Amino acid sequence: MKKLILYTLIFISPFIVIVIGLETLLIRLPNAYMVKADFLKTNSSKTQILILGSSHGITGINPDSFTKNAFNTANYAQTLDIDSKILDRYQDKLDSLEYVIIPLSYHLLWTNIEDHPQRWRRKYYNIYYGIDIEQNPLKRLLFLDETMRTNFQIIQNYYYKKEDPIPNLTPKGFVILKPAKSVDEVEEVSEKVISAHTASDLDWRYFENIEYLKQIIEIGKKKKAKTIFVTIPAHASFVKLLNQKQLNMLYSTANELADNKDVFYYDCLNDFNKDTGNKNYELFFDSDHLSYLGAEVFSHKLDSIIKVLDKKD
């Protein structure tokens, strides 16, 4: 029996060494989570505007368009529970914080990363932020995301070919998306996206997400920072398909939370639909995500809003 165990260990030891090496190389490979966590560890004290949120935030709000020092911590499939945990983790280092910006998307109050098709992203918060999101130790392993062949290709591309694995990510956490080439390109995904983002039960996750919003507000108040909720512009083809009951519930919730003293809400959903010029589609990447052109316009508007709020103090 002892010999069998010994032979088994000898047999599998090369595989274990390969897996450990592979996992180590993958963890050290730059990604959006690493960049953002590293920035917060070293630059939190200088950050005046902190942007939270999901894909709409990471692609729709450009920190470089703000007069104040801003940083974007949003990420794909990032939900309010994670936003709250990120803000809580770094609150003691955010010495200069003046504003927290949270995009209130159509689906946000009825979702959690546990329900998301991209829930595999949970482990990145464990690895890079030190926030305990993924409870299963095996699911925290990066090499299990891809086939071994793909993993080796990823490693080769970065370590040997010196290719940038995150070419569209700016140093301040914004993802650059190219403009759509036509109206058809914008509209073609509208129905599919609406279907995925419309809640079948408006009580599902709603009350727990309200608590996360309140936690964010309270941390903001503790830091003497204002909280700005904002609904980011979407294309008309997306807006016309929205479930009005869900949308109105989002609006009423946001307006109830806003006191216009410490907490503010701005509905910009139709901002880019007021101008129906032929090039309107260039402001979008798809029907509910802005291109870098749209993000620049929208971010400048947010900057103007902040300047107005500053004057009121």
* pLDDT digits 0-9 by tens, 125-152: 999 999 999 989 888 999 888 898 999 9
pLDDT for 9 equals: 58
Q: What is the pLDDT of residue 138?
A: 87
Per-residue b or e along 245-255, where b marks 16 or more CB atoms closer than 10 Å to that residue's CB? ebbebbeebbe
CB count within 10 Å of CB 241 equals 15
At residue 6, does pLDDT exceed 70? no
Q: How confident is the model at residue 243 (pLDDT cuts 50, 70, 90)?
A: very high
Domain of residue 242, residue span = 2-312
Residue 313, pLDDT > 90, answer no
Q: What is the pLDDT of residue 55?
A: 97
| pLDDT at position 16 | 73
Region 25-49 average pLDDT: 97
Average of per-residue pLDDT values in the chain = 93
Mean per-residue pLDDT, 220-237 = 97
pLDDT for 7 beyond 60 = no
DSSP states of 43-86:
HGGG-SEEE--SHHHHHH--GGG-SS-EEE---TT--HHHHHHH
pLDDT exceeds 60 at position 247: yes
Give 197-213 pLDDT, tens digit per residue: 999 999 999 999 999 99
Question: How would you class 312 by CB atoms within 10 Å of its CB: exposed for 0-12, middle for 13-18, buried for 19 or more?
Answer: exposed
The pLDDT confidence band at residue 279, using thresholds 50, 70 and 90, is low
Does pLDDT of 276 surpass 60? no
Segment 57-95, tens digit of pLDDT: 999 999 999 999 999 999 999 999 999 999 999 999 999
Q: How far apart are CA 57 and CA 193, in angstroms?
A: 17
We report the CATH number of the domain holding residue 212 as: 3.40.50.1110
The percentage of the chain sitting over the pLDDT mark of 90, rounded to a whole number, equals 82
- Min mean pLDDT across 157-161, 197-201, 272-276 is at 272-276
As given in the structure block, the two tokens for residue 294 are 């749209």
Q: In the predicted model, is pLDDT for residue 112 greater than 60?
A: yes
Q: Identify the H or E element spanning 284.
A: strand 284-286
In tens, the pLDDT along 117-126 reads 999 999 999 9
pLDDT over 70 (residue 15)? no
Label residue 12 by pLDDT band (50, 70, 90): low
Domain total in the chain: 1
- Split at pLDDT 50, 70, 90, the class of 17 is confident
pLDDT of the residue at 5: 62
Reported pTM: 0.93
pLDDT tens per residue across span 256-269: 999 999 999 999 99
Amino acid in the structure at residue 208: E
What are phi and psi for residue 226, nearest 5 degrees?
A: -85, 145
Q: How many Å apart are CA 77 and CA 58, to the nearest integer?
A: 10
- Sign of the alpha-carbon torsion through 138, 139, 141, 147: positive
**Rounded alpha-carbon distances, angstroms, from residue 89 to 26, 37, 92, 221:** 25, 11, 8, 16
